[in-house]
Amino acid sequence: MLSLVVRSVFLAAVASALSFQAQAQTAPKLEMPAASPLGKLEQRVGVTDVAVTYNRPSVKGRKIFGELVPYGEVWRTGANTATAISFSTDVKFGGAAVPAGKYALFTIPGEAEWTVILSKVTGGWGAYQYDPKDDLVRVTAKPAKLNDLVETFEIGLGDLRDGSATLNLAWERTRVGVKLEVDIVSVLKPQIEAAMSADGKKPYLAAAMFYYEHNIDLKKSLEWIEGAIKEQPEAFWAIYRKGLILEKMGDKKGAIAAAEASLALAEKAEGGIRTEYMNLNKALIARLK
């Protein structure tokens, strides 16, 4: 009789355990909101891909700089894991040369000046493992006071140009900007030269305007824009750009002639492009006379 009782208790315990395991396997996953949500930024600057991964704390009524984030101490520049930033090509960061790669972004806030640091060691929690010996570069930046409150810490890239941008750090009523520069000419010039010397269809317009915008070789720029016009004689947008190139070369008479030819063709077009290029050509003519 005792053995039957023991066996019954054993079987009941096994059944209970199996039931608990089944409930555990089917229980819904509980996912709570993060106090400092993960943020990701991806932006192309010229032909360089810039990526930032960081956690975004909020003010929540607190005094941030000088209290929660002390002046004169290394800050992870966000929350949780130290902020990471990567560049797909070599760049200049605040004027300092930085090879392509991934880095941890630290800062030392100050009332009048910030130190912005790129460290070669990434993935550390907070700034607890930060060591100055791992610094790749240190640059300084002046903080700007904001009229409007930035509730949640924000990293952004603004002032975008072919060869530069500004990395902005903004929180509470403070913004700090670091200039980012990329050497787009050394990257693209050999590629353009190769494309223009190869057989087949050539990127005349794009090549001409790149050389024009970056003051590389205006004679080649003119030659290439004329190649684009030869392929499409009615392309008033290309003829207008020929006028811009001639203007930069100091040929006012030739630039006016190009603008007038482009204007005459643009008048025959339809839609918004007609108005756009009529206005562009009139403005070019007006500043040349």
Tell me the per-residue pLDDT of 121-174, one tens digit each, with 9 for 90 and over: 999 998 998 999 999 999 999 999 999 999 999 999 999 998 999 999 999 999
Domain CATH code at residue 259: 1.25.40.10
Q: What is the pLDDT of residue 205?
A: 97
Q: Based on the structure, what is the number of domains in the chain? A: 2
> Does 275 fall in a domain?
yes
Is residue 2 very low, low, confident or very high in pLDDT (cuts 50, 70, 90)? Answer: very low
Q: pLDDT at position 27, please?
A: 64
Cα separation values, 217 from 185, 210, 222, 229, 254, Å:
12, 10, 9, 19, 18
Residue 20 has pLDDT above 80, yes or no: no
Closest CA to 222 of 237, 243, 199, 236: 243
- Which pLDDT belongs to residue 32? 83
Residues 111 and 46 in one domain: yes
CA angle 98, 165, 87 (to 5 degrees): 35
Residue 18 in this model has a pLDDT that exceeds 90? no
User: Is 128 inside any structural domain?
Assistant: yes
Q: Say if residue 48 is in the same domain as residue 175.
A: yes
Whole-prediction pTM: 0.76
Q: Does residue 99 form part of some domain?
A: yes
CA 209 to chain centre: 23
Of the two residues 187 and 266, the one the predictor is more confident about is 266
For the chain, what is the total number of helices (H) and then of strands (E)? 7, 10
> Does 63 score more than 80 pLDDT?
yes
Residues 193, 61 share a domain? no
Residues 93 and 202 reside in one and the same domain? no
Cβ–Cβ < 8 Å for 180, 192: no
| Domain of residue 267, residue span | 184-288
